[in-house]
Amino acid sequence: MLLSLAAAAPAWVEPATGSPESPFPDALEAAAISQDRLDSIHENSLILGNGDLNGLLYSSGGSLVLRITKNDVWDARIDTAGDPELTTIDIKGWKTNGSKGSWSSWNKPYPCPRACAQVVLKSATVEPARSVLDLRRAVARVRPQGQELPQTEVRALSQCNVFLINSSAEAALKPIPSPHLPAAEEGVREGVAWLRRQIPGDPDWPGMTFAVALASAGNRKAVAVVTSRESQDPLGAAVALARATAATAAPLVQKHEDNWRAFWAASGVKLDDAALTALWYRNLYFLRCVSKPGVVAVGLFAGLVDDEPAWHGGHTINYNTEQTFQGAFAANHVELAQPVEQLVTDYLPRARWLARKTYDCGGAFFPHNLYPYEPPDSEACRSKNHRVHACTPWAHTIGNSGFLVQNLWWHYQYQPDRDYLEQVAWPALRDVAVFYADFMDQCRADSPGKVILAPSVSPEHWDWTPNMERNRNCAYDIAFVRFTCRAAIEAATILGRDPKLVARLKKELDRLPDYPTTKGDRPLVVDVEDAPPIEYNLAVPAVPVFPGEQVTWFSGDAEKQLFTRTIDGLRWNGNNSAIMLAVARARLSLPGSWQWLKDELAARSRPNGTITLNRLGNSINNYGHYTEQFAATMAVGELLIQSVDGIVRVFPAWPKEKSACFENLRAVGGFLVSAEQAGGAVRQVAVTSTTGGRLRMVSPWPAAAVQRSARAAPAPLKPDGCGLVEIETQAGERLLFIAAQ
């Protein structure tokens, strides 16, 4: 048997050492974005960024324009003076004092992110222009079609907040016109052009200042942005940074490319499908342009196409904000989700206050919209309603709080670290779980031992209805209450904390209602109790599969059939749920999942590689470049590897007839997985255990074997009745799994 295994085994390959490089450099190179024109900020603009500083490069009137944003530049004013009184919810009485319609604070042009400035490279291009966005090196190159003019190169330097431009064209620094802000100051200091702008505050926020400086050295231009969060003298710091960068560009470019080389070395995919391969790389690149550790979390849009971003350009937590960062985890870039985790931590004191004030509950409740710079002490706020911007009804979907803390739990699951769990994830998980337990303790009873989970609002459907007839037992809420309670139980057990809370949450799980369905022999899941199937904006009936993660490939046959039937027949308006439905289909390994994803995203793909919100081509797509669609990286990755419930499945929804390989995609438990499929079969699976622990994997073969070192012979493994193999691992250990003959 061992001789047979050894003969069948691919050669053991040690992990690469030395200078980091992308596992599949040819696939990464092929994902570069090439265009024949740049004259639409919506369709053709190129996204550049370093995670904090980012911009849109496009052409207008024969000039190249770089429109610059920075994550922490926010007009964070909130004016609640004209709002009604803060909404309160009587859980037992099914009553709310919430006023319907738009609130005064919502109708203001702020809070919102603000664009910083634009740099105009005069006569740098004549349409049509040939452009290439090289993802591997994070540089845009533009040359007029059919002309020999030197090309323009633009980089957002990865190591500092500077755009480095190489162009013979004259550059001009211009402010972004805004009727909502004081005019920018402009000037020149020692040959460096600059502008400085003050953003006013409100009674509870002091406002901020930012400065932009443009320095030139021959064809080299450096554009630096500094805010008052970073320096007491933003203008002086910006001028100094721009001048220094322009004078010493060469080593900075080398460092920039080294940083991006290391980024791409962390993982990679190569698929027998050029479109899906490009989607994986491009959307991971876009996410890296707008996110990295230590920065303010990006809002709804990458860059700003106008002065009044839709929906205030902030953090909408019924899916938009969470989805933006979902691609980071399995792609082995957990660090890119840190900004949203910080957003949760910063808002947590206000969420605790809001749970008491709105629901008379303990724990923490997060409203529908969050913004940067929220004062942590709500009681100290002087604005009306203590500056709380929680517009009814959408602020009062109780499942949102569980969805928001999912990113923190995923961080721990994908990259286990006890200190992170204890200091960051646990406080938020615990508090939202306590809120759910307190909420359920006030709910009306249904059948013996079950509660009516109400009142709440289905995400983006129904509003408050008479007698709460459409505000009960929402599938979205049920899924995220289950998710949060289970995560909190597991976290508390790992930490050895709060046994009374663990016991309480286990009882609350038993009291949750079933998911709402239609009647008849072939029921379908609906969004709320007693509702008919409708055309959904947010695909609520699919949420228990994903992102709720409560119905999985390992669930019972009856439950899987119910959700398969529901997802196959679900009607939606095409606006929101492409990523959500793609992942849900992959999680259940529905036939044709890869083609469904391919078709849906192809219909939304722009020439510049971004993905529109819908496939209808209406005005909503021109609001900007939606960061939530960057989760296309996850949607592609779910075809290749899944680890829901801590069980690894390789190629769970990838066609058997198509080849594919990936390296170092990250799975729950901290396992880095590499695998290859060719000729209709999985050839091998390599797993590196980053933290040790028990690996559980669905064997791709009827019989499997594992090789634990180059010198060791493959040892047979026996899958159980569900096809699972389990093996204890040590931190740093690499294992090679192969078919046994």
**Lookup: tokens for 526:** 């609906």
Would 95 be classed as within a structural domain? Answer: no
Element (H, E) at 676: strand 671-678
> Mean pLDDT over residues 591-616, rounded?
94
- Domain end residue (candidates: 207, 242, 265): 265
Answer yes or no: do 260 and 308 share one domain: no
- Residue with tokens 């493959």, as numbered in its chain: 714
d(CA 324, CA 163): 24
641 or 99: which carries more pLDDT confidence? 641
Could you report the per-residue pLDDT of 684-708, keeping only the tens digit for each?
A: 999 999 999 999 999 999 999 999 9
- Domain end residue (candidates: 265, 291, 326): 265
Write down the pLDDT at residue 642.
98
Would 489 be classed as within a structural domain? Answer: yes
Residue 362's CB: how many other CB atoms inside 10 A?
Answer: 15
Could you report the per-residue pLDDT of 459-518, keeping only the tens digit for each?
A: 989 989 999 999 999 999 999 999 999 999 999 999 999 999 999 999 999 999 999 999
Answer yes or no: do 257 and 378 share one domain: no
Question: What secondary structure, in 3-state letters, does 407-466 show?
Answer: HHHHHHHHCCCHHHHHHHHHHHHHHHHHHHHHHHHCCCECCCCCECCCCCCCCCCCCCCH
584 or 446: which carries more pLDDT confidence? 584
Could you report the per-residue pLDDT of 259-277, keeping only the tens digit for each?
A: 999 999 999 999 999 999 9
Handedness of CA 631, 635, 641, 646 (dihedral sign): positive
Answer yes or no: do 402 and 481 share one domain: yes
Could you report the per-residue pLDDT of 19-72, keeping only the tens digit for each?
A: 588 999 999 999 999 999 999 999 999 999 999 999 999 999 888 999 999 999
Residue 431's CB: how many other CB atoms inside 10 A?
Answer: 23
7 pLDDT band, cuts 50/70/90, is very low
> Is a pLDDT exceeding 70 seen at residue 177?
yes
d(CA 431, CA 433): 5
CATH number for the domain harbouring residue 692? 2.60.40
Would 126 be classed as within a structural domain? Answer: yes
Element (H, E) at 285: helix 274-290
Phi, psi of 657 (to 5 degrees): -80, -5
Would 708 be classed as within a structural domain? Answer: yes
Write down the pLDDT at residue 43.
95
> Is a pLDDT exceeding 70 seen at residue 418?
yes
Write down the pLDDT at residue 127.
65
**Lookup: tokens for 304:** 């700003």
> Is a pLDDT exceeding 80 seen at residue 3?
no
- Domain end residue (candidates: 646, 665, 699): 646
Write down the pLDDT at residue 5.
34
Answer yes or no: do 603 and 714 share one domain: no
Could you report the per-residue pLDDT of 300-337, keeping only the tens digit for each?
A: 999 999 989 999 999 999 999 999 999 999 999 999 99
Answer yes or no: do 663 and 727 share one domain: yes
Answer yes or no: do 224 and 328 share one domain: no
Answer yes or no: do 11 and 40 share one domain: no
Would 604 be classed as within a structural domain? Answer: yes
d(CA 126, CA 124): 7
* 168-177, 265-274, 439-448: range with lowest mean pLDDT: 439-448
Write down the pLDDT at residue 279.
98
Q: In terms of DSSP bridges, do strands 660-667 and 671-678 run parallel, antiparallel, or are they unpaired?
A: antiparallel
Could you report the per-residue pLDDT of 366-388, keeping only the tens digit for each?
A: 999 999 999 999 999 999 999 99
**Lookup: tokens for 446:** 């249904």
Write down the pLDDT at residue 446.
81
Query: Which pTM was predicted?
Result: 0.95
Alpha carbon distance, N-terminus to C-terminus of the chain: 8
> Mean pLDDT over residues 217-244, rounded?
97
**Lookup: tokens for 252:** 């900075």
Element (H, E) at 346: helix 338-359
Share of the chain above pLDDT 70, in %: 96
Answer yes or no: do 261 and 286 share one domain: no
Would 392 be classed as within a structural domain? Answer: yes
Q: Give the chain's domain count.
A: 3
Write down the pLDDT at residue 148.
58
Element (H, E) at 131: strand 129-134
Would 89 be classed as within a structural domain? Answer: no
Answer yes or no: do 609 and 690 share one domain: no
**Lookup: tokens for 16:** 């690469």
CATH number for the domain harbouring residue 217? 2.70.98.50
Torsion of Cα atoms, 481 then 483 then 487 then 489, to 10° = 50
Look at residues 367, 321, 356, 353 and name the one whose alpha carbon lies nearest to residue 340. Answer: 321
Domain that holds residue 708: 2-19+656-739
CATH number for the domain harbouring residue 355? 1.50.10.10
Answer yes or no: do 237 and 371 share one domain: no
Q: Quote the mean pLDDT of the chain.
A: 93
Would 96 be classed as within a structural domain? Answer: no
Write down the pLDDT at residue 362.
97
Element (H, E) at 583: helix 578-587
> Is a pLDDT exceeding 90 seen at residue 138?
yes
d(CA 54, CA 605): 21
Answer yes or no: do 606 and 660 share one domain: no
Answer yes or no: do 608 and 530 share one domain: yes
Which stretches of 132-201 are DSSP H helices? Answer: none
665 or 463: which carries more pLDDT confidence? 665
Write down the pLDDT at residue 126.
61
> Mean pLDDT over residues 657-668, rounded?
97
14 pLDDT band, cuts 50/70/90, is low
- 55 neighbors 69 (Cβ within 8 angstroms): yes
E strands present in 218-266: 220-227
